[in-house]
């Protein structure tokens, strides 16, 4: 098995995540699919760091994790606030800014 | 002996830091098993009816990815992936799902007609483009993490050398990002209290004041069901000292539905058993409500 | 001194045995399998022992006997309980989410077994002629691995509570897991101090680094914080409100019965052993013998260190049981406030001090002769701060005027009330004919004479 296979797996997971973002309407599930895309990108980073024999890819994956954690915290807080006021967590219903 | 120890350890960790263009048998097995689980988990994430099942599928995918990181030599990153992503981020998702109860299943009717199939087509084409790019890219031989990890005596010290020297500024900025996001979450999720919170003392005093006006207010914890009776089920009432049923010991809902279990009387001892000794009264409360010498 | 069997003849015999297979099974694989099975067996036997031990010790503290019927001294009681649990009826609530209801106990029990894989039980020994350490795996990030595995164990609890489909389990599960996550932060911060001193995250490296001194007195605050956090992490008393019967019936395992409940029970006791083993490894020298015994040169080699490790582990288990038998339960908001507002700030400040100290030692600016007085000085400053804050608080309490209390009304609100602090009950006038005077002393009670009654 060529270690390139990790890159193919990363591509598959990323496109599956993108599919989930487009299909699902529950805001939290959409958010989880975004997390899947971030994780797929992390896998690609680690594979490339192994290819080059340097640790920079792992450092970048580390920072991606940190930023993803911060993003999840704020994003879930926003979803909770929207749910509290509008009683719906569907992304189709958050349409007040629609012309 | 320490050389033998090192040999044992390196033999046991020979899965890490694979060779140049093809990996060893152990890593291949791990990859195929892990890849299948990841793809199945991703499909489960997208197509699950309940949001909690999606969250669990995603947690499974993340654990597989952590195993991949460890297999590729990024040991610290693998463990941090489990601690941060699976242990904290997915737990946060689960908490929000369970506390806020955003659980209503989505309706299958589309707001934009044909969006689902268009999305599937777009995602498949996108995946194909990505795989094509990777297939055509000139990816050289894999150098492996052996040398990079050994540069400072291990994966963790080497990462530390890089993190605190070259990427120090990014490190500090990311800490600022984390603090800001924590504050932002607190601001968004905050609920301002308009009245002061009542303490345990105030609640208890209030309860006794209401009791003084209306004696039917209950100020003590209610009796547990089935105490001193034969069964411990929630619909078996407890018995009062005189053998009668304590109404408060059964849930009000069950009482309203009339689902209070009756009490079967204990078997009466035979006359020659009862004659043994004067004080040997039938032990415990007998359920048929006979009022003779209970608790003698 | 026991004679270990001859290494060469053992190797010959086992090579003959292995040679009879078609494929050559590498030695390290066999040793790993042996160690894994041994770790599993030790954990299960320790759990059975701990259940019995806990019941006997708690009974002793409560001045009763405890289980003593099943087997000699009741030792087989846990086995009987396990068999009983396995044979009980398995009830699944109607509202339960079936797949998650089934997975949750597994998610709780399996990580409990996995975490013991990195704990070193002893140094290098000879098994069948091959030298190997008494440790299943030595990851370079071993201690973080234990933290990661316990994070996965929390999933079992959260999912158990949610999938039961009723309110008490959900509340218990959320409280329990929030508590475990909060105390994990304090645990991680106390680990950081040990990492700074040992220079490595691998448990065997940490045990090796404690050759010249154990970390519980070199990093006292880290040890104290870790011990408090480990009690909170395992949901044991006094932090066991999410499982208390009077509060939440059973907490997250209310709706579970039979084998699934047995798995939760097992997971809790194994977590107890794991966090105790980690405490012994990180702060109490792991398998190293304490000072009087370590003067004997054979104390830290061969199979003896496993004995020291087990003794220290059982002492920690006893401390856990002692805490359960002695301390009352803390309220949930009290111990969450304690975890976040006291433990974490104190650990962060302590970590700053430790890092500063370590850096000065590493840079050579601080040699041992200066380090000890400075350490004592820091401890003295810390103690002075604590004393000063305490004195200030007491002065404040003394200086605030007592709250004005209204006069005592015996029948306030329509029912009799005792006097509040600051009030005093009026003297009850006694009826004259029952007044006790010297002329008419009280009638003798219990055979005492009148003189003894009046002189009392």
- What average pLDDT does the segment C187-192 reach? 94
The answer on pLDDT for B3 being more than 50 is no
B83–C151 CB contact, under 8 Å: yes
Which residues of B are less than 8 Å from C124 in CB distance? Answer: 1, 4-5
C249 pLDDT band, cuts 50/70/90, is: low
Alpha carbons C299 and B197: distance in angstroms, whole number: 60
pLDDT tens per residue, range C11-68: 555 555 555 555 677 888 888 999 999 999 999 999 999 999 999 999 999 999 989 8
Alpha carbons B93 and A17: distance in angstroms, whole number: 17
Q: Which among A42, A72, A73, A71 has a CA at the least distance from the CA of A59?
A: A42
Nearest to A51 among B85, B115, B140 (CB): B140
CATH number of A39's domain: 1.10.287.3510
CA angle C99, C105, C106 (to 5 degrees): 85
Least confident of B100-114, B227-241, C47-61, C80-94: B100-114
Give the count of beta carbons closer than 10 Å to the beta carbon of residue B13: 16
Are C289 and C124 in contact by the 8 Å Cβ rule? The answer is no
Chain centroid offset of residue C86 CA = 27
Contacts of B188 (CB under 8 A, 6+ apart): A74, A77, A78, A80, A81
More confident position, C5 or C322 = C322
Are A57 and A45 in contact by the 8 Å Cβ rule? The answer is yes
Nearest to B75 among C141, C149, C154 (CB): C141
Residue A49 falls within a domain, yes or no?
yes
B182–A2 CB contact, under 8 Å: no
Nearest residue on chain A to B54, alpha-carbon basis: A29
C-alpha distances (whole Å) from C271 to each of A60, B36, C63, C235, C309 are 34, 31, 28, 10, 17
Least confident of B180-184, B259-263, C151-155, C200-204: B259-263
* Rg of chain A (C-alpha set): 17
Contacts of B39 (CB under 8 A, 6+ apart): A9, A12, A13, A16
- What average pLDDT does the segment C425-444 reach? 64
More confident position, C270 or A1 = C270
Chain centroid offset of residue B189 CA = 21
Residue C127, beta-bridge partner list? C130
pLDDT of res. C143 = 94
Q: Which among B64, B57, B67, B47 has a CA at the least distance from the CA of B93?
A: B57
Q: Is A65 on the interface with B (CB under 8 A)?
A: yes
pLDDT of res. C438 = 56
Contacts of C342 (CB under 8 A, 6+ apart): none
Highest mean pLDDT among A13-22, A49-58, B156-165, C93-102: A13-22
Consecutive H or E run containing B245: strand B245-246
Alpha carbons C72 and C52: distance in angstroms, whole number: 12
Residue A28 falls within a domain, yes or no?
yes
Cβ within 8 Å of B, C 13-42:
26, 28, 31-32
The answer on pLDDT for B290 being more than 70 is no
Q: Which residue carries 């304490």 as its tokens?
A: C290
Consecutive H or E run containing B97: helix B90-100
Q: Which residue carries 């000292």 as its tokens?
A: B241
Q: Which among C115, C167, C108 has a CA at the least distance from the CA of C146?
A: C115
Q: Is A93 on the interface with B (CB under 8 A)?
A: no
Residue C301 falls within a domain, yes or no?
yes
Nearest residue on chain B to C182, alpha-carbon basis: B88
B91–C177 CB contact, under 8 Å: yes
Give all chains having 3 or more CB-to-CB distances under 8 Å with chain A: B
More confident position, C395 or C382 = C395
Are A93 and B112 in contact by the 8 Å Cβ rule? The answer is no
Cβ within 8 Å of B, A 23-52:
23-29, 31-33, 35-36, 39, 42-43, 46-47, 49-52
C124–B91 CB contact, under 8 Å: no
DSSP 3-state assignment of A79? helix
C-alpha distances (whole Å) from C356 to each of C193, C348, C352, C365 are 11, 12, 6, 11
Which residues of B are less than 8 Å from C139 in CB distance? Answer: 75, 79
Contacts of C168 (CB under 8 A, 6+ apart): C248, C249, C250, C251, C254
DSSP 3-state assignment of C241? helix
The pairing of strands B238-239 and B245-246 is antiparallel
Consecutive H or E run containing C124: strand C124-127
Read off φ and ψ for residue B238, nearest 5 degrees.
-80, 165
C97–B52 CB contact, under 8 Å: yes
Q: Which of B61, B144, B176 best probes binding to A when mutated, by most A CB atoms within 10 angstroms?
A: B61
The answer on pLDDT for B143 being more than 60 is yes
Kindly list the domain boundaries of chain B, sorted by start residue: 215-289
Alpha carbons B78 and A62: distance in angstroms, whole number: 10
The answer on pLDDT for C431 being more than 80 is no
Are B145 and B17 in contact by the 8 Å Cβ rule? The answer is yes
**Shortest CA gap A25–chain B (Å):** 7
The answer on pLDDT for C455 being more than 80 is no
B5–C131 CB contact, under 8 Å: yes
Domain of residue C112: give its range: 88-343
Q: Do chains A and B touch (3 or more CB pairs under 8 A)?
A: yes
The number of residues in chain B equals 296
- As a whole-number percent, the residues of chain C with pLDDT over 90 amount to 43
C-alpha distances (whole Å) from A20 to each of B96, B121, C273 are 20, 12, 42
Domain count, chain C: 1
B18–A50 CB contact, under 8 Å: yes
Q: Is B50 on the interface with C (CB under 8 A)?
A: yes
Alpha carbons A96 and A93: distance in angstroms, whole number: 8
pLDDT of res. B6 = 44
Are A40 and B133 in contact by the 8 Å Cβ rule? The answer is no
Structure tokens at C271: 């977590």
Helix spans in chain A (H): 5-23, 27-52, 56-86
pLDDT of res. B236 = 83
pLDDT, chain B, mean? 80
The answer on pLDDT for B261 being more than 50 is yes
C93: left (phi over 0), alpha (psi -120 to 50) or beta: beta
Q: Write the DSSP string, C16-40.
A: HHHHTSSS---HHHHHHHHHHHHHH
Residue C441 falls within a domain, yes or no?
no
The answer on pLDDT for B234 being more than 80 is no
Residue A14 falls within a domain, yes or no?
yes
**Shortest CA gap B113–chain C (Å):** 33
B15 pLDDT band, cuts 50/70/90, is: very low
pLDDT of res. B291 = 36
The answer on pLDDT for B120 being more than 90 is yes
C255 pLDDT band, cuts 50/70/90, is: confident
The answer on pLDDT for B179 being more than 60 is yes
Q: Note whether ipTM > 0.90 here.
A: yes
Alpha carbons C270 and C114: distance in angstroms, whole number: 10
pLDDT of res. C444 = 58
Highest mean pLDDT among A59-68, B3-12, B280-289: A59-68
Q: Is C152 on the interface with B (CB under 8 A)?
A: yes
Alpha carbons B204 and C417: distance in angstroms, whole number: 14
Per-residue b or e along B261-278, where b marks 16 or more CB atoms closer than 10 Å to that residue's CB? bebeeeeeeeeeeeeeee
The answer on pLDDT for B42 being more than 80 is yes
Least confident of B33-37, B226-230, B272-276, C401-405: B272-276
Per-residue b or e along C346-356, where b marks 16 or more CB atoms closer than 10 Å to that residue's CB? bbeebbeebee
Least confident of A57-71, C159-173, C226-240, C415-429: C415-429
Nearest to A50 among B62, B72, B93 (CB): B72
Counted across chains B and C, CB pairs separated by less than 8 A come out at: 100
The answer on pLDDT for C118 being more than 60 is yes
The answer on pLDDT for C241 being more than 80 is no
Q: Which among B251, A76, B59 has a CA at the least distance from the CA of C167?
A: B251
Domain count, chain A: 1
């Amino acid at each position: 098995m060529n270690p390139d296979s990790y890159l193919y797996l990363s591509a598959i997971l990323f496109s599956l995540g993108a599919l989930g973002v487009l299909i699902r309407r529950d805001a939290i599930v959409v958010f989880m699919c975004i997390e899947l895309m971030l994780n797929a990108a992390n896998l690609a980073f680690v594979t490339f760091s192994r290819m080059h024999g340097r640790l920079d890819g792992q450092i970048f994956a580390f920072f991606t994790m940190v930023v993803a954690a911060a993003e999840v915290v704020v994003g879930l807080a926003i979803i909770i606030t929207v749910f509290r006021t509008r009683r719906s967590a569907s992304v189709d219903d958050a349409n007040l800014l629609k012309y | 002996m320490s050389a033998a120890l090192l040999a044992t350890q390196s033999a046991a960790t020979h899965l890490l830091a694979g060779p140049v263009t093809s990996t060893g048998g152990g890593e291949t097995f791990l990859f195929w098993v892990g890849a299948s689980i990841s793809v199945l988990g991703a499909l489960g994430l997208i197509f699950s009816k309940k949001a909690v099942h999606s969250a669990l599928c995603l947690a499974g995918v993340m654990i597989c990815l952590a195993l991949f990181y460890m297999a590729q030599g990024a040991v610290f990153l693998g463990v941090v992936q489990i601690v941060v992503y699976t242990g904290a981020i997915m737990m946060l998702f689960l908490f929000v799902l369970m506390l806020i109860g955003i659980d209503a299943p989505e309706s299958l009717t589309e707001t934009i007609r044909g969006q689902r199939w268009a999305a599937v087509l777009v995602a498949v084409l996108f995946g194909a483009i990505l795989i094509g790019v990777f297939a055509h890219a000139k990816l050289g031989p894999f150098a492996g993490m052996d040398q990079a990890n050994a540069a400072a005596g291990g994966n963790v010290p080497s990462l530390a050398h890089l993190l605190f020297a070259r990427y120090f500024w990014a490190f500090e900025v990311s800490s600022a990002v984390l603090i800001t996001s924590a504050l932002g979450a607190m601001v968004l999720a905050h609920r301002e209290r308009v009245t002061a919170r009542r303490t345990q003392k105030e609640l208890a005093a209030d309860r006794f004041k209401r009791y003084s006006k209306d004696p039917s207010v209950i100020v003590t914890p209610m009796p547990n069901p089935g105490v001193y009776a034969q069964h411990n089920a929630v619909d078996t009432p407890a018995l009062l000292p005189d053998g009668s049923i304590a109404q408060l010991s059964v849930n009000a809902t069950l009482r309203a539905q009339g689902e209070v279990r009756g009490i079967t009387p204990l078997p009466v001892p035979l006359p020659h058993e009862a004659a043994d000794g004067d004080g040997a009264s039938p032990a415990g409360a007998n359920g048929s409500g006979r009022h003779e010498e209970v608790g003698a | 001194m026991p004679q270990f069997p001859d290494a060469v003849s053992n190797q010959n015999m086992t090579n003959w045995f292995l040679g009879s297979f078609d494929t050559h099974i590498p030695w390290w694989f066999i040793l790993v399998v042996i160690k894994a099975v041994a770790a599993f067996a030790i954990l299960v036997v320790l759990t059975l022992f701990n259940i019995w031990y806990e019941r006997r010790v708690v009974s002793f503290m409560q001045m009763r006997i405890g289980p003593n019927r099943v087997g000699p001294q009741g030792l087989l009681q846990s086995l009987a309980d396990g068999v009983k649990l396995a044979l009980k009826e398995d009830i699944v609530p109607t509202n339960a989410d079936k797949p998650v209801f089934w997975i949750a106990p597994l998610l709780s029990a399996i990580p409990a077994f996995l975490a013991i894989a990195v704990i070193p039980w002893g140094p290098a020994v000879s098994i069948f002629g091959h030298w190997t350490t008494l440790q299943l795996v030595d990851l370079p990030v071993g201690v973080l691995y234990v933290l990661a595995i316990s994070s996965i164990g929390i999933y079992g609890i959260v999912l158990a509570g949610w999938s039961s489909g009723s309110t008490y389990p959900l509340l218990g599960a959320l409280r329990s897991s929030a508590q475990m996550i909060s105390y994990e932060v304090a645990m991680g911060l106390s680990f950081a101090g040990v990492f700074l001193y040992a220079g490595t995250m691998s448990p065997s490296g940490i045990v090796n680094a404690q050759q010249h001194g154990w970390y519980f007195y070199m990093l006292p605050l880290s040890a104290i914080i870790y011990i408090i956090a480990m009690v909170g992490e395992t949901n044991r008393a006094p932090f066991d409100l999410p499982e208390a019967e009077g509060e939440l019936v059973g907490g997250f395992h209310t709706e579970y019965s039979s084998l699934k409940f047995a798995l939760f029970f097992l997971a809790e006791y194994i977590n107890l052993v794991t966090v105790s083993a980690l405490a012994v490894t990180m702060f109490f020298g792991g398998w190293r013998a304490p000072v009087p015994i370590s003067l004997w040169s054979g104390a830290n080699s061969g199979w003896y260190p496993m004995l020291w490790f087990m003794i220290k582990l059982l002492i920690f288990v006893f401390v856990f049981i002692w805490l359960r038998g002695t301390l009352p339960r803390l309220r949930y908001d009290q111990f969450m406030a304690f975890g976040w507002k006291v433990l974490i700030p104190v650990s962060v400040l302590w970590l700053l001090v430790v890092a500063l100290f370590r850096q000065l030692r590493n840079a050579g600016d601080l040699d041992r002769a200066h380090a000890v007085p400075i350490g004592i000085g820091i401890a003295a400053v810390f103690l002075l701060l604590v004393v000063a804050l305490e004195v200030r608080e007491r002065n404040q309490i003394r200086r605030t005027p007592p709250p004005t209390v209204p006069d005592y009304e015996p029948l306030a609100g329509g029912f009799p009330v005792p006097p509040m602090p600051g009030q005093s009950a009026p003297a009850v006038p006694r009826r004259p004919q029952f007044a006790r005077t010297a002329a008419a002393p009280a009638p003798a009670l219990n055979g005492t004479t009148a003189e003894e009654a009046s002189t009392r």
